[in-house]
Structure 1
Amino acid sequence: MTTQIKTPKKLIEVALPLDDINMAAAREKSIRHGHPSTLHLWWARRPLAAARAVLFAQLVNDPGYQRELGYGVNKKEAEIKREKLFQIIRDLVKWENTNNEEVLNRAREAIWESWRETCHLNRNYPQASELFNPEKLPAFHDPFAGGGAIPLEAQRLGLESYASDLNPVAVMINKAMIEIPPKFAGQTPVGPLPEGEKQQSMMEDWASAKGLAEDVRRYGKWVREEAFKRIGHLYPKYKITQEMVVERPDLKAYEGEELTVIAWLWARTVKSPNPAFSHVEVPLASSFVISSKKGKEAYVVPVVEGDKYQFEIKVGNPPQEAKDGTKAGGRGANFNCLVSGSPIDGKYIKAEGQAGRMKQRLMAVVAEGKRGRVYLSPTSEMESVANQAEPYWAPSGDVPARLTGGTCVPYGLREWGNLFTPRQLVALATFSDLVEEAREKAVADAKAAGLPDDGQGLARGGSGATAYGEAVAVYLGFAVDKVADSGSTIASWTSQRDTIRSTFARQAIPMVWDFAEVNPLSDSTGNFIGSINWVFKVVDLLPATASGGAQQSDAATQSISLNKVISSDPPYYDNIGYADLSDFFYVWMRRALRKIYPTLFATMAVPKAEELVATPYRHGSKEKAETFFMDGMTRAIHNMAEKSHPAFPVSIYYAFKQSETKEGSTTSTGWVTFLEAVIQAGFSIDGTWPVRTEREGRSIGIGSNALASSIVLVCRKRETNAESISRRDFQRQLREEMPEALETMIGGQTGQTPIAPVDLAQAAIGPGMAIYSKYQAVLNQDGSRMSVHDALVLINRAITEYLSPDSGSFDADTQFCSSWFEQYGWSAGQFGEADTLARAKGTSVDGVKAAGVAESGSGKVRLLKWSEYESDWDPSKDDRTPIWEACHQMIRRLNNSGESAAGELLAKMPEKGEAIRQLAYHLYTLCERKKWAEEARAYNELIGSWHAIVAASHDVGHKGEQQGFDL
């Protein structure tokens, strides 16, 4: 029996259609309805497209593995098979294919095929029955599950999926996405239809979690109606009187009507610092503009009479003073007193807030009209009703005093309950209590509908009526959290869009001076039914296929990962204080769901001491925080290395914070440190793939050094008996192995376009790091261990040498043009200098002039830009065609006539295709380094269109063959 596991390289260790993945990930940011990110807020989620593609490529064998094992597959055949896998990924990452079973089944079949191949290779391994069962795919685990995108996509691809996290809010999000839905897949709704609704069809499709989603909608409507009965009096309508119409003719269409209020706009107030007006509460308004939408402009006008003031609404273009609110224009003050003009500085405001003297004043009312928003002046009745609310419960616990993006604590908002008005507290507590009542009702309805009951809830693994009622309650609880997000005093009104800006518009809890209090019982922005609909649409589209599980666990000590496929997105350094921020939701989630998950919600707040975030205030100093983070992260990654399934690499996402591009490579201190941690944890690194989510087309980032949102590290457990090698041997292996790896990334001979030039510098580090990290150490001449930083320098040098026209794989004319371009761009230089350079490259100035790529005269030499090239150029009739000319003719044809025309041109010189692409990669890197944005864009777009160009060239060739046959 063999004792050595045979581990074929996976696709992710060789090549990816990265441009397609990144475009899909960027597009996904605009998807809202039904996207899992709208189930519950979580910070810095990975795009589903990226997670799905990475997992698929992590699970399927690269077709070239057969060559590694001595099978009779040549490079060309491997490239053709690889292109088929790329096409699966291209289809897989499209949002519209998220639940396309035909596309998903193709992916699942490819995964099964690779798994059975791997099992066959290891059929004689001693633990084959345990590790390599051809009838059962290995399970998946993400030890830093967070928002749950990666575990969800593992489940969608057919794997049993497990998620864990220290944060109970994250655990609940994962339970809601991968653990609960499969338990009730195919379940028909048990709740009664809301009043006035009719059953659509007796044969309605309740596959997957659709029935559960429908019950969430039904019981959600019940909760809303019950809430209206209990607290509806706190949300009065606004009656438009005849007197109002006299002042505001634009309200004529609403005279006598009662309009539903959708938001009350408040300004925080402090007592005037002017002794003469110290009894007056004056507003701290950042702006008086309510709507800046064209044709719907509206603003607040403060009317001051002595020591009193009131607010009125005006329609039309707001003057500058309305845009400024009561903000102070000069230094030394934050605001000005509305009644006296006295400056109000930050220290005074903080002192008033900390003393509990900060209040609020109603500035405006927003109602729902026949054709959009109606902006109304505040009334004493509206303010009085709001002040009548008496909270019977408020969340306790401290708001974080320090956050990267700002905190409201210095202004006296110290506890979570301080972030809400009394009316908001009453509403949220009422909704939370109704979640429990809805649970009881759903359990009873499930039993009445005939659903068997084992008496066990979700926390005990139940799957009957009791658990079903709890499942409905979980999603109702999520809707309450969504209402809290839009229903706090940190939520503001955005005049540009005439809607609410939620509490977490960014990853912070900053002070907000003028806030919007939405009506959760309305049918407009931030309402409860709207929140239910967001949740419903997500649950309706969840796969609910393979089983899944989520639990609270420390990544450094968990044992869930044993013999599982692992992909994870760990927290990065101090970017986001997940535990601090998520307490905002935890306090409401705990109130609504503690009876369902008593252990998970046993603590008063989210655990923080163990959280792997480098927060100096938590650890005493920046140095101690960094040590804590790196030690903990190394232990967690070591745990992955020890427990992961030996047949698969581990993928780890690394999010950049502050990074830079130098000499065509992505570098940062954090990046180098993280690589060191991964290697020290026992991994070798086989891939470094940049995943972008901010791209707008292929040219984003050109000229601005915009970097990847994150890097996916592809890791394998390093052999325990790995040896050390010398620096010279490392450099030799780079020279021998990097060219083939880069050729595969660039796309081989099949026209595939895995990587755009903008991403190549980062992705190409992978194969170089694979060489460096598979050894125990690379030793310098003095015997010291080569650092990751120094290895990266040598790897980047090898990449540059491969792409350089001086590498020997380009003709002499192209080598001259490249060197001249690097020095002068499209500008002219001295003939003598050009002549010397041309001779050194083995050509002449007359030669490159004759080739049609340069002009020479009056002692000057200048390269022609592609727009100056012959428009009717035919390579078959040109007896001197350097790759330089062919490349720029392709750019000219692509820019002027599109991909099909460029394909026709390529069909006339197919043998030059690979050299053209290699030159384009080189020139892009050169232009990006020199910040020549326009030129860089042209080369990047040529590579970005290459797949379509090659396909068009094949079509031309096929038509030519057909025509020849017919003749």
Structure 2
Amino acid sequence: MATSTLTDTESFIEAQFPVSKVSKESYNERKSGNDQTLPSIGKWWGRKPLVMIRAALIGLLMPPSDDPKRDQEIFLKIMTMDEDGLWKRMREADGNIRYKDAFELLTEEEQARFFDLAEVEGGKAIHHCIDADGREEKKEMKQDIQRLAFNRLSYDEKLSYADRPEQIDGPPEAAWEEINDYLDTDAESLSELVQELGNRQFGHSPRLGDAFCGGGNVPFEAARLGFNTFGSDLNPVGALLTWASLNVVGGGKKVAERVRTAQQKVFAAVDKQITEWGIEKNDKGWRADAYLYCVETECPECGVDVPMAPSWAIGKGTNTIALLELDEVNDRFDIRIEEGVSKADLEAADEAGTVRGDRLHCPACDRATPLTMIRGDQRVENETSYGLRKWTKEDIVPRPEDTFQERLYCVRWEESYTDEEGNRQTRSHYQSVTEGDQKREQEVLHLLEERFDEWQEKGYIPSRRIEPGYNTEQPIRERGWTHWHHLFNPRQLLQIGLFAEKQRELLENKVEQVGCLLGLGKLADWNSRLCRWVSASKMENGVQTFSNQALNTLYDYYARPVNQIETVYYYAINHTEISEAEQIIEPEDARAVEYSADFWITDPPYADAINYHELGEYFLAWYEKPLQRLFPGWYTDSKRALAVTGDEEDFRRDMVESYRNLAEHMPEDGAQIVMFTHQDASVWADLALIMWAAGLRVTAAWTIATETNSALKQGNYVQGTVLLVLRKRTSDDTAFTDQLKAQVEDEVRSQLDAMRALDEDEEEPSFGDTDYQLAAYAAALRVLTQYGSVEEWDIERELSRTRSNGEQSPIEDIIEEAVQVAADHLIPQNFDSFQWKTLAPSERLYLKGLELEKHGEYRTGAYQELARGFGVREYKPLYASSRANKTRFKTASEFGKKQLGEDGFEGSHVRHALFAVHEARDQDDAQAGRLWLRNELPDYWGNRKKLIEILKYLASMESVSEHWEEDAKAARLVAGAVENDHA
């Protein structure tokens, strides 16, 4: 049975994909922070960039031709990633290159054409030296200068001046002529193009489904492009965010304005009530700007109540600290706040934390006690018994007998005053807690207690129990909190509950209510007992609960008063217009979905540290009752028991059932894309097994860089999203293992050669080093999954197996062989192919590692993948650095005289060449390097050509790496000396 090739495919994305440009655009979108279209409406984990989703959707609809290069040009035009599209994006963004910078980018001829060079040389500002007569001519000339300069920028540099693709209305008018002529369409917009291509392929408007919709990015982008859209998620919070993305964000400017007006109405009512209660103003009329709380516990050694915090530095910009002063009469500490202290005092306070690691350090007796002992945790028959009292549903604050108490220890106040010029100004003051503050705390508790039962009944504050789980066990065992409202103190519950009450009283329109409900979720994220206080000099503020992906209990935390939640509640609504195509959103198990879609794009939970089903319950506790009212047909249970989690047998079978169901609800010519963020061979093998068992075959795979440097996982972890393209398997043919191996080898080579043919632009390549490695994975799975079975394999047994450490599945073996084929096939540029084949695997690994560095690849995972491809298990001695995002192999000087021997890499020709470079540089004489090789290396003359090739390759590192600059110069000289050597 013949395997598919890059030109024998059904869509553009199965034939090729401009990985580099889509990655750059995705990275650019992710690092834009709050300017992103959807994340502002609510917290969800692992959102995928909209531009990547758009590229995938267009890639599925666009048919390939027998001219791959022209296909790529047209695809880039549709995506506005070509020169004309980028120029339009720059003009839409009102981006302008400074004339000084533009001048430097022009040729001498162009400089003379546009500028009066005599005035430029005279030191006048360049923008005054444009050599034009009249306003219109000058305007036109400025435009020409900008365009010429813009075209000379690299792709990354252009992005810094341009809007993102999602922020403009599509390709420029002239581009549509080329697009329509090539695709035989008659479109003037992206939605019209989608409709035409969809009708041509399916006979109707194309339908897109996502059965793990989460935050809603896939349904949102599909709907914006004109697809009929279905989105479902087992978790109702994911369904709510998806509905809001389509109806609040996608409702356009008028809807955004209505939601903002509704928010203002609610906020004003809350602010008025808080002011009337007088719980956020002191006796001077100052308004609270921050509340700092800490946990307190009794020292088991001396009996003194100790305030708990890892640091007592409050503000490193204002030099504010908290000082603990022992009150021997009451066996407790007073906490005194001081502003403007010395640097030494600030550093001392930063190091004087009473919680250090997992121990309580008592300043009264100077004893350290494990926190497990304070909590009363015990090991009983190899299980831990946690000693804290479990809070009841009625608890709001700790009981007097509880191990951990809680106290307010600092308030930052905002003073309003009139300056000498009559202008209203504000200034902040950190102050110790006064008797008046304590009375206001008691009043807050009293106000909450008056409303507590009613508010829980109406759903204004949570009443749900915390179900134990990987993440949700933490607050239970570390604090004894058993219900979601325990994660909020009285002030926070009163404030957020008041918002919920006013929203219910003041709003009737569904979209407005949902918009404000999302604001409530933002408040819950930004104002809980899990919100850290940050003392950094440029911040001195609190961060949200989910600043990481856990429910971390804190010993000191921050609570926001009303004047600090305005920017949280008024979240940015980056509105856009969604087409009027069909949109269906509902909470639903992927195994039970009945919607039929032409394409399914999904991002399932897979071997992932983020427990969406648990963390989502944090928000569901606040949304439960409003959801019942706003969406009567939806369930409001998290359905945690049905969640697809883990990576063992149950998980694999749940995934097979989910994807088999989606495949059954897809036409014969439909397709799926599964997005996942792992490059481990075992994860790939499991996923391939799942898709294979679900009746799907792999047709392509691409990795898109989707993580910024500040993302959850960095460096050695996930930095890219794999797009695995699948279609229904139509064959039941059986293959044999030997047959598979031969086909995989051919397919890998064919895939790599086709990719290289498309990748001739050295300045802006389409693919990176890791993309070629990934291509081997995809080629192996493409061959394997086209068969119904493999003679020697039992799919059912593989699905149910629990593998011991080091044990590989047959699919992993196939994948690893494919990677080794790719490693052998990918010879470094300008390296002689014959000499390359004579090198040992460790030598090839080292030289290919240098090629990674040449291309700016510093992720440890890329080097690990390379080592796996060459079958080299011991490669750590090659590292100069293995730190996240700074991984590279050693230079000749860094090796020095170490790791020189007779066997393995230590005795290889590459290692001897490196030492020759070291000797030449050390003695400032190229002949010293030549003599080392001639005298110490066996069969020097027989390997002379190989040594010259290696040395010249090392010399090529001079212009690309500062670490190699001097060593590369020495390598070039040694290569010349060896080349001129005579017997």
Report if the CA contact (8 A) 2:466-2:484 is conserved. Answer: yes
Alignment of 1:402-551 (within 5 A): 402-404=469-471, 407-410=474-477, 411-440=479-508, 469-496=509-536, 497-519=539-561, 521-522=562-563, 524=564, 527=565, 529-534=566-571, 536-538=572-574, 540-541=575-576, 543=578, 546-551=581-586
What is aligned with 2:787? 775
How far apart are residue 374 of structure 1 and its match? Answer: 3.2
Whether the 8 Å CA contact 2:471–2:614 is kept in 1: the answer is no
The correspondence for 1:792, drawn from 787, 808, 815, is 815
Q: Structure 1 CA distance, aligned partners of 2:495 and 2:25?
A: 39
- Give the CA deviation at 1:133: 6.5
Letter in 1 for 2:705: R
Partners in 1 of 2:348 and 2:960 — Cα distance? 52
1:823–1:647 distance in 2 versus 1, CA, 3 Å: closer
| Residue 285 (structure 1) shift | 2.2
Cα distance in 2 between the residues matched to 1:114 and 1:555: 38
Equivalent of residue 349 in structure 1, options 360, 375, 383: 375
Alpha-carbon distance in 2 for matches of 1:238, 1:9? 67
Residue of structure 1 aligned with 2:406, choices 360, 379, 403: 360
Q: CA deviation at 1:275?
A: 7.5
SS of 2:592's equivalent in the other structure is coil
Match of 2:362 among 324, 333, 336: 336
Unaligned runs of 5+ in 1: 1-5, 67-72, 119-127, 186-208, 241-256, 441-468, 615-624, 657-665, 839-844, 863-879, 897-932, 939-967
Structure 1 position 382 matched with structure 2 position 437: yes
- CA shift, 1:338, in A, is 5.4
SS of 1:860's equivalent in the other structure is helix
1:209-250 deviations in Å (ceiling 9; x for gaps): 11111111112111111112223245645559xxxxxxxxxx
The amino acid across from 1:571 in the alignment is P
2:598–2:671 CA contact under 8 A, matched in 1: no
Instruction: Note the alpha carbon deviations across 1:469-492, whole angstroms, 9 max, x for none.
Output: 111110011101111111111112
Cα distance 1:813–1:652, how it changes in 2: closer, same or farther (>3 A)? Answer: closer
1:740 aligned counterpart, secondary structure? helix
Contact 2:472 2:614 in 1 (8 A): no
**Runs (5+) with no aligned partner, structure 2:** 1-6, 90-158, 187-195, 377-386, 392-398, 416-424, 457-461, 799-808, 848-891, 910-915, 921-925, 936-945, 969-983
Shift of 1:267: 0.7
CA contact (8 A) 2:26 2:51 kept: yes
**Structure-2 separation of matches of 1:13 and 1:855:** 54
1:599 aligns with 2:633: yes
Structure 1 CA distance, aligned partners of 2:661 and 2:671? 14
How many residue pairs are counted as aligned between the two chains?
741
User: Could you tell me which residue of structure 2 aligns to residue 585 of structure 1?
Assistant: 619
Alpha-carbon distance in structure 2 between the residues aligned to 1:178 and 1:105: 27
2:302 and 2:364 in contact (8 A); partners too: no
Q: What SS is found at the alignment partner of 1:556?
A: helix
* Alpha-carbon offset, residue 264 of structure 1: 0.6
Could you tell which deviates more after superposition, 217-226 or 91-100? 91-100
Match of 2:930 in 1: 857
Which residues in structure 2 correspond to 1:796-945 (within 5 Å)?
A: 796-804=819-827, 810=832, 812=834, 822=844, 857-860=930-933, 892=958
Task: Answer whether contact 1:181 1:544 (CA < 8 A) is retained.
Answer: no
Asked whether the equivalents of residues 79 and 749 of structure 1 are also in contact (C-alpha less than 8 Å), the reply is no
Matched-pair contact (CA < 8 Å) for 2:759–2:767: no
Distance 1:824 1:7 in 2: 36
* CA distance in 1: counterparts of 2:172 and 2:601, whole angstroms: 19
Note closer, same or farther for the CA distance 1:542–1:291 as it changes in structure 2 (3 Å cut). Answer: farther
What residue is the counterpart of 2:466 in the other structure? 399
Secondary structure in 2 matching 1:595? helix
Q: Which residue of 2 aligns with 1:31?
A: 32
Question: SS at the partner of 1:98?
Answer: helix
Q: Distance in 2 between matches of 1:97 and 1:87?
A: 6
The aligned counterpart of 1:920 is: none
Per mean C-alpha deviation after superposition, the further-off stretch among 156-165 and 469-478 is 156-165
Q: Are the structure 2 counterparts of residues 736 and 326 from structure 1 closer, same or farther at C-alpha, using a change threshold of 3 Å?
A: closer
Q: For residue 466 of structure 1, what is the aligned residue in structure 2?
A: none
| Deviation (angstroms), 1:802 | 1.8
Equivalent of 2:354, from 314, 317, 327? 327
Please name the residue that 1:564 is paired with.
598
1:692 to 676, 688, 705: 705
* Cα offsets for 1:29-88 (capped at 9, x unmatched): 33233421121111222222332222222222233xx4xxxxxx5x66666666767864
Separation of aligned partners in 1, 2:197 and 2:280: 69
Alignment of 1:6-405 (within 5 A): 8-35=9-36, 36-63=38-65, 66=66, 73=67, 88=81, 96-103=164-171, 132=200, 136-179=204-247, 185=251, 209-234=252-277, 236=279, 258-273=285-300, 281-293=305-317, 296-306=318-328, 307=330, 308-315=332-339, 316=341, 317=343, 318-319=345-346, 322-327=349-354, 333-336=359-362, 343=369, 345-349=371-375, 351=387, 354=390, 356=399, 357=402, 358-368=404-414, 373-389=428-444, 390-391=447-448, 392=451, 393-394=455-456, 395-404=462-471
Q: Please give the alpha-carbon distance, in whole angstroms, between the structure 1 residues aligned to 2:500 and 2:782.
A: 52
Contact 1:641 1:682 in 2 (8 A): yes
Report the alpha carbon displacement of residue 381 of structure 1 after superposing the two structures with TM.
1.1
Shift in Å, 1:537 = 2.5
Give the Cα separation in 1 of the matches to 2:503 and 2:794.
69
CA distance in 1, matches of 2:364, 2:178: 69
Task: Give the match for residue 379 of structure 2.
Answer: none
- 1:906-959, Cα deviation, whole Å (9 max, x unpaired): xxxxxxxxxxxxxxxxxxxxxxxxxxx979xx9xxxxxxxxxxxxxxxxxxxxx
- Return closer, same or farther for 1:348/1:782 CA change in 2, 3 Å cut-off: closer
Change in Cα spacing, 1:305 to 1:782, as seen in structure 2 (3 Å) is closer
Please report how far the alpha carbon of residue 645 of structure 1 lies from its aligned counterpart in structure 2 after TM superposition: 3.8
| Conserved 8 A contact 1:80-1:750 | no
What is the CA–CA distance in structure 2 between the aligned matches of 1:430 and 1:49, rounded to whole Å? Answer: 39
Amino acid at match of 1:772: L
CA deviation map 1:428-464 (0-9, x unaligned): 1211121122323xxxxxxxxxxxxxxxxxxxxxxxx
Q: CA deviation at 1:99?
A: 2.1
Q: Residues 368, 610 of structure 1: CA spacing in aligned structure 2 closer, same or farther, 3 A cutoff? A: same
Residues 1:758 and 2:770 are matched in the alignment? yes
Aligned counterparts of 1:416 and 1:712: Cα–Cα separation in 2: 37
Distance 1:300 1:108, change over 3 A: farther
Aligned residue identity for 2:933: K
CA distance, structure 2, for counterparts of residue 820 and residue 668 of structure 1: 20
| Amino acid paired to 2:61 | L
Instruction: Go from structure 1 to structure 2 and tell me whether the alpha carbon gap of 1:434 and 1:543 turns closer, same or farther (over 3 Å shift).
Output: same
> What corresponds to 1:956 in structure 2?
none
Partner SS state of residue 474, structure 2: coil
Q: 1:84 to 1:340 in 2, by over 3 A?
A: closer
CA 1:435–1:559 in structure 2 vs 1: closer, same or farther (change >3 Å)? Answer: same
SS state of the match for residue 630, structure 2? coil
Query: Secondary structure at 1:858's aligned position in 2?
Result: helix
Shift in CA distance, 558/104, structure 1 to aligned 2, threshold 3 Å = farther
Over 3 Å counting, the alpha-carbon distance change for 1:109 and 1:405 in structure 2 is farther
Match of 2:942 in 1: none
2:625 equivalent to 1:612: no
CA offsets 1:124-178 (integer angstroms, 9 cap, x no match): xxxx999856774311110110111111121232222221111111111010112
Report if aligned partners of 2:681, 2:815 keep a CA contact under 8 Å in 1: no
Shift of 1:725: 2.7
Letter aligned with residue 564 of structure 1: D
> Is contact 2:745–2:818 with CA below 8 Å preserved after alignment?
no
Alpha carbons of 1:282 and 1:814: their partners in 2 closer, same or farther (altered >3 Å)?
A: closer
Alignment counterpart, residue 742 of structure 1, candidates 752, 762, 765: 752
Q: What's the % identity of the aligned pairs?
A: 19
> Is the contact between residue 178 and residue 549 of structure 1 (CA under 8 Å) also seen in structure 2?
no
